[in-house]
Structure 1
């Protein structure tokens, strides 16, 4: 068994422990179906134990210096760098991601740790605030929240796990983390190993392999965690928001997207095609920020359509371990069936198919629909598959209106040769992020990453994430005797 495949146990209080449910789950390669490792599933009682040890460990972790927290985060980043090739192979095997995807994901994960090192000193920072009362000195302190409940998805498991974990630890919190079991190694076990080797005190980071059958809503309803960090679907996000609201817990939610890619009348078509091909087909479209609707001004529509379809037709698909592959497998057969159902329904509804795809195992080759109605079920569905929808707009104004006709508001893109006008129009799109002359899949630890509407709540990225993962406390000092009216 190779280096990371053996990490098939939960990590609680600094120890690798077997799940005691009597049930197990296979982590499989989505391309060929081979079993990578088998994981014993933990019970609800084991999860409760993880929260209890995190609560105890956090009290000591909160007392550590900024330099100590910085050192441990740096050690964890170094561990990931030292094992770069092995980790990238596991990302490809476990997620079905191409070699390019694996490199991007590991790079983003390391970047999150390195950025978190820079704001460890924001904890316990004292800010003086003037007061009208004579002799009163106001101090505003920033304190850790406590314990964070972290839940991550299968598509970019390492990066989307670390996006919650790194700032939580940097700011003196402890974490109980549940990765999606399908990608439990990259989404959980490798991170636990990195923190173990980095010297993180026992109990500060806990990772549990389990499923909903065993734990129900315990990750959400347990009284110990103060914040729930979740990346995943909007329906699940709404459930989390409902439970968190009832229990007055904070949430950091990054949910679904229906991201428009807008080609204005003055755009460079060739550059727009390049960007949209990447933004649509990277990781088979299984990214919340993936290009979902391509809205093109009528004057450029035919030229764009011809060039886009030709590019999509020639994208290599198949084995993600082949360095030439662009489109690898979807995560599981259920995802394939959902995608095929979308395709067949759109065909029955008379939508024009400019490029039809075929499913070979879990690999679905690129599909392109054209002349798509922006109000259709196809256009209004988050596809999470290598399926592109091209929509014609009669004007630039209509293109912006179409972009906003969705319940989602995560990412968006505008192609134009007029950057000033592009930014003006960007501010009219109701999404958390808009990229001018780029595609929709962008991430960075130094920007306010997050969505509007049903795409989420809260913002990741420094310095915005500091507010999410800390609590502010007002302490006043009355330095002169205060006269009271009675």
Structure 2
């Protein structure tokens, strides 16, 4: 396919203090070091956009969008396929970069790149799908409902899975004829933005169609309120999501909010305890629990609670924690001191409120030990809040109705799961759970890229990105009628 062999991905000179504007020509208002969580050492420097920088980037994207939308569908698809090939070709190098910048283990970095390949290939198929319908109408009139791009789509992405959570919006939005302004988290600007920029530059995306500029709240607010950006796709915390939803609503914009909330993993008394403990440990501790789908609450039937707790304590005691990029550990560091301090306060407050610390609860540097809390109940901080750290919150129940009531003691969430040998019983429980995604005999961290992804309440605004939802998200309806001649009217 003629993909590039020459890219030195670790050479950050091109993005040192600049935005991606189709090239690397625009200096941003400020710059700062990007620190590797495992070592505390700078990896590279990134520019930090101001509101004025963001306004200029929106102008460039707006100017480039019409020509991009007019590009033949096969040509847009070809660029997405070239991007997928580049991700695939440079798999190992990119996976290591992502692991180092995010504090993840190597398999986590590999997962992000593997999913990037899938996301680009799925997006490449979108331009070749039917983009509307012929509607019933009166004789002599052709009535068409067609899907058209929004124009400029603003994408604001987080630090935890930055490549996936940026690209899952960037790729379909581009494929469907939009220009994109991407604001990645300043802690992960390469994984969430500059890798994507370099891939699409090499793949032949026309200059201006994709703008990438890391920034903080000032830049994000400028993106959300600008009238030239009719849609915002945001992934992040419920608090920030509320603010974006408020601003977007005031400016009559479409908004896709994928947030967080409580995710409940229910373990019934007939479960295989060894298999259940493994699933719980992965769902709660993978990537240090910094996942919007993490198994925040583990609701376990009282009859097996002690057995499950013992197995989880054993795992917490023996799982190694350290530099994720070393290939020698199961958990890496948390993203930064602010995130660690917040999580540590949640654990300590929950213990003060009456929960029992069974394992963990300590850290060395940013490396927090996998933690097990038992006796967790509604009203305790780790039950009521999304901890966003490596903790299993064990909550006991005595009946299916009680399990459902406990799980639904929240304002909604992304994911839920039920583990049981009785699939029918598990499905009956799952149907009653207030979650956007439900998994039977699995943990809560799942995404195939082909599925709608979202949730009610604190999970977001109920809309979903991914798979069959992408055309709905990144285009809008436009109605056309055509007549051979102008009719006579009575006025």
Structure 2-normalised TM-score?
Answer: 0.94
Matched, 1:412 2:416: yes
Shift of residue 478, structure 1, vs aligned partner: 3.8
Shift of residue 44, structure 1, vs aligned partner: 2.6
The superposition leaves residues 159-208 of structure 1 with CA deviations (integer Å, 9 ceiling, x where unpaired) of 00001101100100000111001000111111100000000000010101
SS in 1 for 2:415: coil
Aligned pair partner of 2:299 in 277, 284, 295: 295
Counterpart in 2 of 1:273? 277
The superposition leaves residues 83-141 of structure 1 with CA deviations (integer Å, 9 ceiling, x where unpaired) of 11111111111000001111111111221111111111236x2411113x343332111
**Is contact 1:58-1:173 (8 Å) kept?**
yes
Aligned pair partner of 1:19 in 7, 27, 46: 27
Shift of residue 77, structure 1, vs aligned partner: 1.2
Counterpart in 2 of 1:42? 49
Shift of residue 368, structure 1, vs aligned partner: 0.6
Counterpart in 2 of 1:428? 432
**Distance (whole Å) between structure 1 residues aligned to residue 53 and residue 488 of structure 2:** 56
**Distance (whole Å) between structure 1 residues aligned to residue 410 and residue 28 of structure 2:** 44
**Distance (whole Å) between structure 1 residues aligned to residue 159 and residue 150 of structure 2:** 27
The 5-angstrom pairing of residues 25-424 of structure 1 reads 25-122=32-129, 125-131=131-137, 133-212=138-217, 215=219, 217-424=221-428
**Distance (whole Å) between structure 2 residues aligned to residue 4 and residue 206 of structure 1:** 20
Q: Structure 2: state its 5+ residue gaps.
A: 1-7
Shift of residue 353, structure 1, vs aligned partner: 1.3
Shift of residue 401, structure 1, vs aligned partner: 1.3
- Give me the CA root mean square deviation: 1.8
Moved more, 291-300 or 34-43: 34-43
- Structure 1 17/481 Cα, relative in aligned 2: closer, same or farther at 3 Å? closer
- Structure 1 20/262 Cα, relative in aligned 2: closer, same or farther at 3 Å? closer
Counterpart in 2 of 1:10? 18
SS in 2 for 1:48: helix
SS in 2 for 1:36: strand
**Distance (whole Å) between structure 1 residues aligned to residue 210 and residue 123 of structure 2:** 16
Moved more, 266-275 or 171-180: 266-275
**Distance (whole Å) between structure 2 residues aligned to residue 216 and residue 121 of structure 1:** 33
**Is contact 2:101-2:188 (8 Å) kept?**
yes
**Is contact 2:10-2:97 (8 Å) kept?**
no
**Is contact 1:8-1:185 (8 Å) kept?**
no
**Distance (whole Å) between structure 1 residues aligned to residue 269 and residue 152 of structure 2:** 50
**Distance (whole Å) between structure 1 residues aligned to residue 489 and residue 22 of structure 2:** 54
**Is contact 2:62-2:151 (8 Å) kept?**
yes
Counterpart in 1 of 2:482? 477
**Is contact 1:411-1:432 (8 Å) kept?**
yes
Structure 1-normalised TM-score?
Answer: 0.95
SS in 1 for 2:324: coil
**Is contact 1:9-1:16 (8 Å) kept?**
no
Shift of residue 300, structure 1, vs aligned partner: 1.7
Matched, 1:456 2:463: no
**Distance (whole Å) between structure 2 residues aligned to residue 454 and residue 332 of structure 1:** 24
- Structure 1 377/445 Cα, relative in aligned 2: closer, same or farther at 3 Å? same
SS in 1 for 2:46: strand
Q: Structure 1: state its 5+ residue gaps.
A: none
